[in-house]
Structure 1
Amino acid sequence: MKYQSRKKAVIILADGTIFYGKAVGKEGTAFGEVCFNTGMTGYQEIFTDPSYFGQIMVTTNAHIGNYGVNDEEVESDSVKIAGLVCKNFSYEFSRVNASGSLENFLKENKLFAISDVDTRALVSYIRDNGAMNAVISTEIDRMDELRAKLAEVPDMKGLELASKVSVKEPYFYGDPGATYKIAALDLGIKKNILRNLAARGAYVKVFPYDTTFEELQAWGPDGYFLSNGPGDPEPLEGVIAVAKRIIEENLPLFGICLGHQIIALSRGISTYKMHHGHRGINHPVKNLLTGEGEITSQNHGFAVNREEVEKHPDVEITHLHLNDNTVAGIRLKNRNCFSVQYHPEASPGPHDASYLFDQFMEMVADKSAVNS
């Protein structure tokens, strides 16, 4: 009965293109920018990643839900995507340490999803025509109304979303007796980033996105971190100003994804919205400093202008994405600051990029030794 009674559903893209499917669980409607992730696993982490806030996620793996969910495999305190689109949704699941089904997880988090979609055709269309706003809905008899509402959804370009996912009050993570204190600015921080910092001797205080440099400094941190997050980095003028101050003081600073873009903007380097972004767990990156390759987890729709980085006298490209040669990492010359456009904390099988946390903590240790 579960399979026979599912209601028909529709995907309408901003350019008018339509795809059809069937509702998973509850009926409903959801709006957002449609994007796709090519990861074979990790759907629960994707759904709870704050960087995906407000986006309709298309999963390219043919089966979603087959290994259920685990209470420990979340990156934030709630689901952040606006909706889910998949090919085959597995109501039954099998895994030793699963704590429940994905079906119940969606119900508990009030997430609207549709399956039985030709995701290969949809992803191919996005790759050809670019990421765009979309609506998914079971209200197939109200298509004109859905199109009208879709036209009112703001574009991701110019959209500030960090404030929607950032913590409202500071909180602590890790051992208070740890060797070093790290001030993390929460633009949409993932829990596994905090785990990686704490595992390397850091006591982390996570601050709201609009915290001033003076407020961060008052805690007396040994280093600073700018997190990942959703939306366009350019509207975050306050965060850019904070990054400028940290760099001016030559304090240890590490940025990931949105944090990486903020650091670039603080140096006068522009960012741009990508055609359809990078979202998956097998993206190849070359470390230009070592010549080694890395298999990385990525999730971003904006990137740093490579030409402007290459012309900047004080900034050096450290990593390149090998699929399209976009900037995947930078460091500042004569400053204790570096950043990457991917997720070293994700470790989706390979742990190729986890060394970046080691480098940051070594930078913190070296700076602390100089100041002591």
Structure 2
Amino acid sequence: MRIFDAFVDAYGSAPEGVWHAPGRVNLIGEHTDYNDGLVLPFAVPWGVTIAASPRQDDTIRLLSLQMGAQTVEHLDEAHGWARYPVGVFWALRGNGLPVRGADLVIDGDIPEGAGLSSSAALEVATAFALNDLYALAQSPMDLARTAQRAENDFAGMPCGIMDQATSALAREGHALLLDCRTLGSRQIPFDLPAHGLELLIINTNVKHALADGQYARRRQECEAAAAHLGVPALRDVTDLAGALGRLSGAERRRTQHVVTENHRVEALIGLLRAGAVTEIGALLNASHLSLRDQFEVSCPELDVAVESAVRGGARGARMTGGGFGGSAIALVAVERAESVRNSVKAAYAERGWRDPDFLTATPAAGARRLT
């Protein structure tokens, strides 16, 4: 194992263990997580692997096979990518848990910039490693919440719980229905090959610079809309027409998306339970239109990916993730997959854009110890 050898080379001894946490793709339920809503993601086959051993002091030594090395004597010394794993140490210590330092080697194979949540995978892998190294007896959901706190309060990204929970809880062959208010979850069978289908991830290979600031702004707009409506979160809006009549501008549009997106999650679950997997494409299309027009987090590259995938024969498609770049997903009959790829590539070439990359996503297992 490459990471095992790298650990021995870096630190002169074998690691105490090796852990893996996957990235995720969200089937439907976008920007609903921080509105206490419903999401339906699943883990992807790519993720972050960490080899680790505990230390007798508080020093954290990090070696990423992709990003280089950092040594952190004091938590506020961490910078760049290291703030994600170091934030987990900070969050665990802040919860009063007996976590000292560690030596870590990190290896990842999540495609960069694809919006498949490499940061959550890094946080969750770190959390699972420290949980075992220091015998913390934390549940997978406890570790997911710790990882979210690390990203929110240490790394400074105001994400919801979806990414970390999926990485921690996912089950192979299933999508994860997560209620982001109660943190209750159910594993939903999602066997596309049995229906002659596959889920194609279309990585646009772009990430627009405004993404992070706009993400925070969308969250603020949702919170302001909920405050104006007198509800704890937009998840609590039951009379959409009445709510829209009391709002205007961005707050009105954000509310319309969040409320209807929660309904789409429930509708898609109903189709999956009925065995009507081939019929979910229309809900993917509707989700994308809402994200484009009401939540305004799409971009030309995502729109063209979605439109050309459907034109090429996809049953449905939508952007996935935070937006402003990253990836789209397309539900495709296996025999039409090549046609869909060719349609998207031709649309990109016509505009002089860099070729997109394509990945076929199958629901993978969540975080676990490998050795």
Give the TM-score, by structure 1 length. 0.26
More strand as a share of residues: 1
Which structure has the higher relative contact order (CA within 8 Å, separation 6+)? 2
More helix as a share of residues: 2
Give the TM-score, by structure 2 length. 0.26
